[in-house]
Structure 1
Amino acid sequence: MHEIERNFKFLLVEIERQIEGTIAVLEHRDEKAIAKIEARDDYIDNLKSVIENACFATLHGETRPSAPEVARIRAFHIIGSNLERVGDHAVNVVRQTRHYDDPECVKRYAYKPFFQEIRNALAWMPKAVLERDMATALKICRCELHLDRLYKQEFDRIRDELRSGFGTGDLLTTLFIFRYLERMGDALLNVGEAAIFGITGDKFKIRQFTALSDILAESGHENPLSDLEFESIWGTRSGCRIGRVLERGGEDDCHKEVIFKDGDSAKLRQEADNFARWEALMPGLAPRLEAFREGKKTSSMLIELLPGQTIQDLALSSDLDLLGRALAAQCRTAKALWDKTLTATPVAAGSIRQLRARLPEVLTVHPGFRLKRRTIGSFVLPSLDELLTAAAAAEKPLAAPYSVLIHGDYNTNNILYDQTEDRIHYIDLHRSTETDLVQDVSVYMVSNFRLPVFDKARRRVLSSVILEFYRFAAAYAAENGDTTFDIRLALGLGRSLITSTRFELSERFSKLMFHRGIFLLERVVGHTGDPAAFRLPLSALCY
C-alpha cells in the first residue's frame, strides 16, 4: 500500500504542474511551454501504469488483503486513471490554442474560475484520499457541479456570439477549451466518488450518497455516516440501488439495521403506497416504511429490515426440515391473503401481452430465439410471432372467475421466512395489484426452475418446491370454482420461462427454458376441447 500511496502523491504533483502550465499557456501562448506539457504526458501515463500494476500486485500478493483494504486498492486504481484523464484534458486544452487566429480571444471569457475549482479539488485530494476524510471527498465531488454551471454560462454566451457570424473559428476553439475543462470535472467527480468508496467500502454515486445522508438525517439517525456500515444487496433486477445500513453504537451499544433503497420515483412512490396498504391488510407481512424522500426523477426510502431467510436460500440449503416449515408457512400466508382479498370479479392476467412487451429484450440477448416458420413434410411449425398470436387468441376467453391481491414479483428471493416466529414476510412490493393469482403462481414456480443449479439432489429439491406450491394453488382454485386454472397457468409459465432467458447467458440452460416455454404455449394452442379439461404437463417444470 505504501508504494501505491507514494506514486499517487507523485501523480498528483504532476497533474498540478500540468494545470499550472495550462493556465500559463492560456495567459501567453508559448510553443515551448506547450511542448513541455505534451512531453510530461508520457510520464503521467507511466505513473498511472505504475499505480495500476501496484494495485493488482497487492490484490494478488501472498498476503490476502481484507475487504476494506481491497476497497482502498480499487479506489486508488480508479483515482489514478481519472487523474491521468485530467492530465490528458490539460494537454488537449493547450493544443487547442494552436488553432487561434487571435490568441487573446480566450481572455475575453471567464476561464479562471474553472481553474480555481480544479486547483481546489487537487489540493483537497491528499486529505480525502490519504486521510480518508469524508467531508473533503464530498467537496471534490461537488466541484463537478460547479464546473458544469460555469460551462453552461460560457456555452450560452459563445452560442449567442456565434450567431453574429464573426470570428467563428476562434469562438469554436474557445468552446472546445471550455468543454475540456468541463470534462475535467467529470474525472474529478470520479475521483471523489472513488475516495468515498475507499472510506465506506461501497460504491456510491454522489447523488445516492447525498440521498442516503439526507434521508438518514430526516428520519432521526443522528450518527455521522462514518459510524454507519453500508452493505449493497446485489442481484436485484429492479434498477434500484438497495443496501443494508447498520447504525453502530448508541445506548448499550445497540445496533439498528434498515434497508436503503434509491431509484425511480414512480416505482418507489408506488411501493411506498403499497406498504401502507399491506400494513392495514395484514400487519407485519410487509416491512414498515421508516422514511420516504421524494424527488422529481429519483426518490429514496428507508425500510424496516425484516428477519428471516429467503425461500430461495432455504431451497438451496441442506436443511429440508426448515424448508418444509417455511413452505407450510408460505402456503398458509398465501391462502390467508387470497381469502381476505378475493373478489368475485372476472379478471384477465394478460400473460401473452406481458410476453410480447419483454420479447425485444429476450431477442437482444438471444437473437436465435426468433423462430421462423418451418415445415416437416405436411406438418407446419409456426413462427414465434404466429405462435404468440394463436396463444393470445386462446387466452382471450380465459378470464379468471375472481381476483385477489397478489405480490406482483413473487420470486423466491422476495419471500422471507422467520423461523423464530414461524411466519412469512414479503418484500419488494411495488408491483402488487388485484389480478389473477396465476400471475404470482407462475412467477414463483419459474423463479425456482430458472436457478442455475444442476446437481441432481438440489434440482430434486427445487422440483419438489415447484410441485408443492402448484398442488396448493390448484387446490385453492378448485375450492373456489376456478375450472380454467391449469390452462391459464400454462400460459403464465410459458411467459415466465421465455422472459427469464433474458437474464441467462448460458446457451444450454436458456435454450432449455425457452423451448419448455414454447412447449407449454403449443400445448395451450393445440388444446381443442373444453378449457377446463386441460391438464398442465408438470414434467415441463421438473429438470
Structure 2
Amino acid sequence: MIINQGIEENLRFLIIEVQKQVERTAVYLRSPSFELLDEILTRDDYIDNQKSVIQKKCFQGAADDASTIDALKSIEIIAVNLEKIGDFCEKVVRQLTYLEEERFLELFDFEPLFNDINDGIDNIPAAIFEKDIHVALAICRAEQSIDDKYVVIFQAIMKMLKGGHNAQNLITVLFIARYLERIGDSLLNIGEAAASAYLGQTIKIGQMQSLQNSLQKTNSGSEISDLSLESMGETKSGCRIDLVTETRSNTDATMFIFKEGRRKKMTQEKTGVELWDTLIPGIAPRIHASHQNGDSSAILFEYLNGVTLEKLILDGATPLLDEAVHALCDTLCMVWSRTLRRPTKTGAFTRQIGERIESVYDVHPDFASQSQGMGDLELRSFDEQISCANAIEESLTPPPEVLSHGDFNIDNILFDTSDRKIRFIDLHRTGMRDYMQDISVFIVSNHRLRVSVPGQRDAVNRTVESFRSCTSAYAKSIDDRSFEMRLALGLARSYFTSTRFVLNKPFARDMLLRSRYLLERVIEHGPDKPQKFKIPQEIFIV
C-alpha cells in the first residue's frame, strides 16, 4: 500500500497517540486522578482532529488520483477505527463516576484485556507501513482473544448480580468491560483494512481464513501473502467471487476463482459441478479445494479461459458469436439426449410467478393490477391471468426433464476460443427439470441487456433466433407437442420475475407487458391442441 507522505505522518502520530491513550486509561482504572482524567479528555480531542485531517487528505487524494482509491479507503477505515478506540477509552474513564466505591474495580482483572489491546495496536505500523499481511491477521485475531477475556468478566458479573448486592457497581464494571471489548471490534476492522489493502480487495477475516485454508488444500505451497485479489462481482444471492492470482518467485502466475457464500448454496454448487463434470469432463471448472466454516463455505475453482456470450454480443463479434451459439446448441442437444427422462409433474412456470410476485411488487408496487373493463371488453388482472394460465399448464402432458443448468444467463456461459468448446459456470441450481427452464432464461437474459447500438441489437436478435431454431428442432425430434406453449409460459415467468432486478421503469414495464401478453395468448388459445399454439415472432425481437 503506497501512502502519501503527509497522510503517513498523520497516521503515525495518530497511532502513537492512541497507544498513549490506552496506556493512560489502564493507569486511570488502577489509580484515578483529576489530572489524568483531564489529560485523557484533552487528548481525545487531538485524536478526533488527527482523524479528520487524515479523512480530508484521503478524500482529496482519491479525487486527485482515482487509482489510489482502494488504498486510501483502507487508510480512512484505519483512521476512523483508531479514533473509535480513543472514544472508547474516554467512555471507560467516564464510567468511574458511577461507581459507588472506586476500590470495587480491584475485584476484576482488566490487565489481560489491556495486554491484548496493546499488542494489537503495537502491530498496526508493521501491518500498514511494512505491508505485512501476517501481522494484519494477528491484529484480527486479537479481537477473538479480547472477546474471550470479556466473556470471563461478563460471566463473573452475572454470577455476582444474582446475589442481589452492588448492582450499580457491577453494571458500571460491565459497561467498562464492554467498551474494552468494543476496542477489539475496532482492531478487527483495522486488521481487515490492512489485509484488504495488501490483497487489493476488501475482505473479511472469515473470508481470508477460508481462502487460506482452501489454498493449503491445493498443495501449492503458497500462502495468503503470495496472492492478489480482484473482485469478479457478487451474485444476487450474496456470494462473493474473486479472481485470485498466485505470484511467487520463479513461478508463472496461477489464477483461481475464489467463491464464498452460504454453506447450503456452496454445497449445491459443488454437487452441480460434479454432476456436469461426470457427464462432460471439462465443461465445468475443476474444484481445487473447498472449505467449510460454520454457516459459510468456500470453493477454490479452476480459472476457465474463454469469453462469455454476453461479452461476445456486446462486442459485436459476429463470426465468433455465431460459432459460440452453434457450439452451445450442439452441447445442449447432446446433454438433453443423454439425460432425457419423463417426469410426473406440471405447472412449474406459473407457480414460480406466484412464488415471486411479492418480491416483484416490493420493487414495483404499481405492477399490482385489478381487473378492468370497457363495455363488453374485460381485461383480467395479473392474478387472474396467473390463475387461468396455471390451469392450462396443469392440463398439459408432463414435459420431458433433462439435466438443467438452472441459471442459464448468457454471463454464465463461456466460449473457449482455444478449443472451441462451451463451458458453464455458477452451477448451484443444477438439477433435473423441464429444459424449457434454461431455454426461457437464456432468451430473456439476452433481452435484459438493454442494448441500444444497432450492431448489438442485431447480435441479440440473431442469437435468440438461432437458439430458438435449434431448440425447436430438438423438441420436434422428441415429439414435444407443448413446446411452444411452455416456451410462452417460461418467457412470461422470466420476463416478470426479472423485473425485480430492474429499476429502470420503462424497461421494467416493457418486460411486464411482454409477460402479460404471453399469458393472455396462452389463455385465449386454451388447453386443447397445444401443438397448434404459436408465439408471435415480434416477441423475440428487441
Structure 2 CA distance for aligned equivalents of residues 71 and 148 of structure 1: 29
Quick check: 329-338 or 292-301, which moved more? 292-301
- The residue that corresponds to 1:537 in the other structure is 536
Q: Is the 8 A contact 1:371 1:384 kept in 2?
A: yes
Equivalent residues in 2 for 1:74-89, closer than 5 Å: 74-89=73-88
Task: Name the residue aligned to 1:123.
Answer: 122
Q: After superposition, where does 1:409-424 map in structure 2 within 5 Å?
A: 409-424=407-422
Code of the residue aligned with 2:369 in structure 1: it is: L
The 5 Å alignment of 1:212-361 reads 212-249=211-248, 253-348=251-346, 350-361=348-359
Equivalent of 1:39 in 42, 45, 50: 42
Does residue 1:153 correspond to 2:152, yes or no? yes
Q: For the residues of structure 1 that align with 2:380 and 2:28, how far apart are their CA atoms?
A: 70
Instruction: Give the whole-Å Cα distance in 1 for the aligned partners of 2:396 and 2:196.
Output: 52
SS at match of 2:233: coil
1:358-409, CA deviations, whole angstroms, 9 ceiling, x for partnerless residues? 3333222223323344444454444443333333323222354321111111
Q: State the Cα distance separating 1:32 from its structure 2 match.
A: 4.7
Deviation at residue 21 of structure 1 after TM alignment: 2.4
Give per-residue Cα distances to partners, 1:221-266, cap 9 Å, x unaligned.
2123332232221153242222222222466x43322222222222
Read off the aligned partner of 2:254 and give its amino acid letter: K
Aligned AA (1:325): E
Aligned with 1:396: secondary structure? helix
Task: Indicate conservation of the 8 Å contact 1:400/1:482, yes or no.
Answer: no
**1:469 corresponds to which of 467, 470, 473:** 467
Partner residue of 2:170? 171
Q: Which residue of 1 aligns with 2:18?
A: 15
What amino acid is the match of 1:392? N
Separation of aligned partners in 2, 1:19 and 1:186:
15
State the SS of the aligned residue for 1:239.
coil
Q: Point out the more displaced range, 14-23 or 203-212.
A: 14-23
The aligned amino acid for 2:338 is: K
CA contact (8 A) 1:405 1:432 kept: yes
Please give the TM-score of this superposition, normalised by the length of structure 2.
0.94
Name the SS of the counterpart of 1:421 in structure 2.
Answer: coil
TM superposition shift of 1:65: 5.8
Task: Confirm or deny: 8 A CA contact 1:48 1:81 kept in the other structure.
Answer: yes
Task: Tell which deviates more after alignment, 376-385 or 352-361.
Answer: 376-385
In the TM superposition, residue 49 of structure 1 has moved relative to its aligned partner by 1.5
C-alpha distance after superposition, 1:325-379 (max 9, x if no partner): 1111111111111111111334436123323333333222223323344444454
Summarize the alignment of residues 311-460 of structure 1 with structure 2, pairs less than 5 Å apart: 311-348=309-346, 350-460=348-458
Identity of aligned residues (%): 38
Deviations 1:154-195 (A, max 9, x none): 222222332333222222222222222222111111110110
TM-score (norm 1): 0.93
Which deviations, in whole Å up to 9, do the C-alpha atoms of 1:420-459 show, x marking residues without a partner? 2111011111211111001001111111111233334322
In structure 2, what is the equivalent of residue 479 of structure 1? Answer: 477
Distance in 1, matches of 2:104 and 2:540, equals 72
**Paired letter, 1:110:** D
Q: Which moved more, 1:44-53 or 1:131-140?
A: 44-53
Q: Which amino acid aligns with 2:150?
A: Y
- Contact 1:406/1:437 (<8 A) preserved: yes
User: Is the Cα–Cα contact under 8 Å of residues 230 and 244 in structure 1 kept in the other structure?
Assistant: yes
More deviation in 42-51 or 517-526?
Answer: 517-526
Residue ranges of structure 2 left out of the alignment (5+ in a row): none
| Contact 1:121/1:188 (<8 A) preserved | yes
Q: Note the alpha carbon deviations across 1:79-114, whole angstroms, 9 max, x for none.
A: 111111112222222222222222333332232222
Q: Against the structure 1 CA distance between its residues 14 and 360, is the aligned structure 2 distance closer, same or farther, given a 3 Å change threshold?
A: farther
Query: CA 1:55–1:487 in 2, change beyond 3 Å: closer, same or farther?
Result: same
Alpha-carbon distance change, 267 to 166 in structure 1, aligned in 2, over 3 angstroms:
same
Is the alpha carbon distance of 1:36 and 1:364 closer, same or farther for their aligned partners in structure 2, counting shifts above 3 Å? farther
1:263-321, Cα deviation, whole Å (9 max, x unpaired): 22222222222322222211121122222223441122221212110111111112111
Aligned residues: 538
Q: Choose 149-158 or 209-218, whichever is displaced more.
A: 149-158
Q: Distance in 2 between matches of 1:45 and 1:399?
A: 71
How much is the aligned-residue C-alpha RMSD, in angstroms? 2.1
